[in-house]
Structure 1
Amino acid sequence: MAGTALQRWTTPCHPKTCRLRHPGRKAVREDMCAEEAAASLLQLEETFSASLARIDALVLKPLLQAEPNDQKGKENFKLFLLLNDRFQALWNLTEENYRILKQKRSDSERSCIQDIYTIWKGDLFLSIYIQYFVTFANYVVVQGFEHVTKSKSEAWKLHKTVLKQFLTDFTPETSMALALYTVLHKPLQDHIQRYLLLLTKLKETLKESPEKDVVTGVIQEYVKLESFISQVLDEACFTKALWKSLGCKFTDMLCVPERRLLEDNKNLPISTSTNRSDRILLFDDVLVLIQGNSFQSFDLKLVWVDENCGEKSAPGLHGLRITTPEETFLLSAKDPQMKAVWQWKLNQAVRQALNGKRDFPLWGRTGEGSEPPPCRFFSYVFRLEGRFRSAAYEGEWHWGKPHGKGTLKWRDGRNHVGDFKEGLEHGFGICLVPRQAEDRYDCYKCHWYEGKMRGYGICEYGNDMVYKGYFKDNVRQGFGILENFSAEHPFRYTGQWENDKKNGYGVWEDKDRGERYIGTWLDDHRHGQGIVVTQSGVCYQRTFHADKMVGSGILLLEDDSVYEGNFTEDLTFVGKGKLSFANGFVLEGTFTNKSGQGLQTHGVLNTSSEQLDERVTKTQLGLREFPVEKRWKGIYDQFLEFLQSGCKEEMEESFTGFHIQTSKELRKSQEYLFCQRGTEDISWKTEDILEELVQHQELESIQSYLEKALKSSLHPLGKLLKALTVAFQATYSGIGANRHLLTMAQEEVKYYAKKIWEFYRGLLHLALEQKGQLSPGAVDGDMSDQKASSVVLPLILPCFYPELFMLYMLYHEREDDLYCQGIVDLSLFPDIKLLEFLDVQKHLWPLKDLTLTTNQRRSLIKDKCFLSATECLQKLITTVDPREKLLILQKTYEELEGTVGRVLGKDYKLPMDDLLPLLMYVVSRAKIQHLGAEIHLIRDLMDPTNQGGMFDFLLTALESCYEHIQRMRLHPRESCPLTPSS
Structure 2
Amino acid sequence: MYREYISAFTNFMVMKGFEKSAKQSSSYWKGNKKLLLQLIEEQSETPVHMILQRAFIEPFRNHVQEYSLLLSRLNETLSMDATLTDSITAYGRLQTFISQALDEASQTKTLWSSVSSKLVVALCTPDRRLQEDSKNIPVTVTPGRYDRVLVFNDLLVFLQGNEPHICDLQTVWVDTTVKQKSELNNFVLRIVTPEEELFLSTKEQPHQVLWCWKVNQLIQQRLEGTRDFPLWGKTGESNDPPNSRLSKYTYRNEGRFKNAVYEGDMSWGKPHGKGTLKWPNGRNHVGDFKFGQEDGFGICLIPDSSGDRYDCYKCHWRNGAIHGYGICEYADESVYKGYFKDNMRHGFGILENQTSTTTSWKYTGTWDRDKRTGYGVWESSDNSERYIGMWQENQRHGLGIVLLNTGSCYQGVFNASKLVGSGILITEDNNLYEGEFTEACLLSGKGKLTFANGFTLEGTFNKTAHSGLQTHGVLSTGCSFQDEILKKKFQFGAGSFPVEERWQGIFEQFQKFLESGCKREAEESFLGFHVKSSKKMQKSQEYLYCQRDNEKDLGQTEDIMKELSLELKSLQSYVEKAFNTSHHPLKKVIKLLLVVFQATYSGLGANFHLLSMAQEEIKYYAKKLWEFFRALLALKTEKSSGPLSGENDEDEMSEDLNPYTVILPAMLPRFHPDLFMLYMLYRQQEDALYWQGIVRLGHLTDTKLLEFLDVQKQLWPLKDVKLTPTQALPLTKNPANPNKAQPTPYPRRKRYSIVRHKCFQSATECLQKIISTVDPKEKLEIILKTYQEIEKTVSRVVSKDYKLPMDDLLPLLIYVVSRAGIQHLGAEIHFIQDLMDPSNRGGINDFLLTALESCYEHIQKDEVRLFK
**What's the TM-score, normalizing by structure 2?**
0.90
What is residue 822 of structure 2 aligned with on the other side? Answer: 928
Greater shift in the superposed pair: 284-293 or 740-749: 284-293
1:233 and 2:119 correspond: no
- Given that residues 638 and 656 in structure 1 are in contact (C-alpha distance below 8 angstroms), is that contact kept between their aligned partners in structure 2? no
- Given that residues 754 and 785 in structure 1 are in contact (C-alpha distance below 8 angstroms), is that contact kept between their aligned partners in structure 2? no
Alignment-mate amino acid for residue 835 of structure 1: L
Out of 54, 59, 62, which is 1:182 matched to?
54
What is residue 967 of structure 1 aligned with on the other side? Answer: 861
**CA distance 1:400–1:441, change in 2 (3 Å):** same
Deviation at 1:874, TM superposition (A): 0.8
- Given that residues 786 and 943 in structure 1 are in contact (C-alpha distance below 8 angstroms), is that contact kept between their aligned partners in structure 2? no
Q: Give SS of 1:945's match.
A: helix
Alignment-mate amino acid for residue 826 of structure 1: L
What is residue 588 of structure 1 aligned with on the other side? Answer: 458
Alignment-mate amino acid for residue 405 of structure 2: Q
Alignment-mate amino acid for residue 832 of structure 1: T
Greater shift in the superposed pair: 709-718 or 929-938: 709-718
- In structure 2, what is the Cα distance between the partners aligned to 1:207 and 1:475? 80
1:405 and 2:274 correspond: yes
Q: Give SS of 1:907's match.
A: coil
Alignment-mate amino acid for residue 565 of structure 1: G
Q: Give SS of 1:883's match.
A: helix
**CA distance 1:247–1:458, change in 2 (3 Å):** same
1:496 and 2:370 correspond: no
**CA distance 1:159–1:380, change in 2 (3 Å):** same
Q: CA offsets, 1:74-102, max 9 Å, x none?
A: xxxxxxxxxxxxxxxxxxxxxxxxxxxxx
Greater shift in the superposed pair: 740-749 or 457-466: 457-466
- In structure 2, what is the Cα distance between the partners aligned to 1:892 and 1:745? 30
**CA distance 1:251–1:687, change in 2 (3 Å):** farther
**Correspondence list, 1:12-161, <5 A:** 127=1, 129-151=2-24, 156-157=26-27, 159-161=29-31
Deviation at 1:688, TM superposition (A): 9.5
**CA distance 1:784–1:177, change in 2 (3 Å):** farther
What is residue 540 of structure 2 aligned with on the other side? Answer: none
Q: CA offsets, 1:626-674, max 9 Å, x none?
A: 011110011111111111122212111202322799xxxxxxxxxxxxx
What is residue 86 of structure 1 aligned with on the other side? Answer: none
- In structure 2, what is the Cα distance between the partners aligned to 1:586 and 1:763? 55
- In structure 2, what is the Cα distance between the partners aligned to 1:884 and 1:455? 39
Q: CA offsets, 1:863-917, max 9 Å, x none?
A: 1111111111111111000000011101111111111111111221111110000
Q: Give SS of 1:779's match.
A: helix
1:810 and 2:704 correspond: no
Q: Give SS of 2:650's match.
A: coil
Q: Give SS of 1:478's match.
A: strand
What is residue 576 of structure 1 aligned with on the other side? Answer: 446
Deviation at 1:774, TM superposition (A): 7.9
What is residue 743 of structure 2 aligned with on the other side? Answer: none
What is residue 791 of structure 1 aligned with on the other side? Answer: 662
**CA distance 1:755–1:367, change in 2 (3 Å):** farther
- In structure 1, what is the Cα distance between the partners aligned to 2:446 and 2:561? 63
Greater shift in the superposed pair: 185-194 or 677-686: 677-686
Alignment-mate amino acid for residue 55 of structure 2: V
**Correspondence list, 1:300-379, <5 A:** 300-309=169-178, 313-361=182-230, 369-379=238-248
What is residue 639 of structure 1 aligned with on the other side? Answer: 510
**CA distance 1:659–1:683, change in 2 (3 Å):** farther
Deviation at 1:198, TM superposition (A): 4.2
Deviation at 1:715, TM superposition (A): 1.4
Out of 92, 109, 122, which is 1:253 matched to?
122
Alignment-mate amino acid for residue 912 of structure 1: M
**CA distance 1:412–1:373, change in 2 (3 Å):** same
- In structure 1, what is the Cα distance between the partners aligned to 2:705 and 2:236? 99
Report the aligned-residue RMSD.
3.0
1:910 and 2:782 correspond: no
What is residue 877 of structure 1 aligned with on the other side? Answer: 771
What is residue 784 of structure 2 aligned with on the other side? Answer: 890
- Given that residues 532 and 540 in structure 1 are in contact (C-alpha distance below 8 angstroms), is that contact kept between their aligned partners in structure 2? yes
1:758 and 2:627 correspond: yes
Deviation at 1:161, TM superposition (A): 3.6
Greater shift in the superposed pair: 765-774 or 379-388: 765-774
- In structure 1, what is the Cα distance between the partners aligned to 2:317 and 2:99? 54
Alignment-mate amino acid for residue 351 of structure 2: L
- In structure 1, what is the Cα distance between the partners aligned to 2:767 and 2:170? 78
Structure 2, unpaired ranges of 5+:
533-545, 730-749
Structure 1, unpaired ranges of 5+:
1-126, 662-676, 973-978
Corresponding pairs, count: 826
Deviation at 1:418, TM superposition (A): 0.8
What is residue 741 of structure 2 aligned with on the other side? Answer: none
Greater shift in the superposed pair: 716-725 or 560-569: 560-569
Greater shift in the superposed pair: 584-593 or 311-320: 311-320
**What's the TM-score, normalizing by structure 1?**
0.80
- In structure 2, what is the Cα distance between the partners aligned to 1:453 and 1:236? 51
What is residue 375 of structure 2 aligned with on the other side? Answer: 505
Q: CA offsets, 1:448-467, max 9 Å, x none?
A: 11111111111111211111
Out of 386, 396, 399, which is 1:529 matched to?
399
Q: CA offsets, 1:790-827, max 9 Å, x none?
A: 32222211121111100000001111011011111111
Percent identity between the aligned chains? Answer: 55
- Given that residues 36 and 51 in structure 2 are in contact (C-alpha distance below 8 angstroms), is that contact kept between their aligned partners in structure 1? no
- In structure 1, what is the Cα distance between the partners aligned to 2:146 and 2:663? 76
1:836 and 2:707 correspond: yes
Alignment-mate amino acid for residue 905 of structure 1: S
Deviation at 1:496, TM superposition (A): 0.2
- Given that residues 765 and 779 in structure 1 are in contact (C-alpha distance below 8 angstroms), is that contact kept between their aligned partners in structure 2? no
Q: Give SS of 2:462's match.
A: strand
What is residue 779 of structure 1 aligned with on the other side? Answer: 650
- Given that residues 635 and 723 in structure 1 are in contact (C-alpha distance below 8 angstroms), is that contact kept between their aligned partners in structure 2? yes
**CA distance 1:433–1:944, change in 2 (3 Å):** same
Q: Give SS of 2:470's match.
A: strand
Greater shift in the superposed pair: 745-754 or 213-222: 213-222
Alignment-mate amino acid for residue 701 of structure 2: P
What is residue 840 of structure 2 aligned with on the other side? Answer: 946
Deviation at 1:725, TM superposition (A): 0.9
Q: CA offsets, 1:707-747, max 9 Å, x none?
A: 22233232112211111111111100111000100000000
What is residue 393 of structure 1 aligned with on the other side? Answer: 262
Out of 368, 382, 385, which is 1:515 matched to?
385
- In structure 1, what is the Cα distance between the partners aligned to 2:112 and 2:199? 26
**CA distance 1:784–1:765, change in 2 (3 Å):** farther
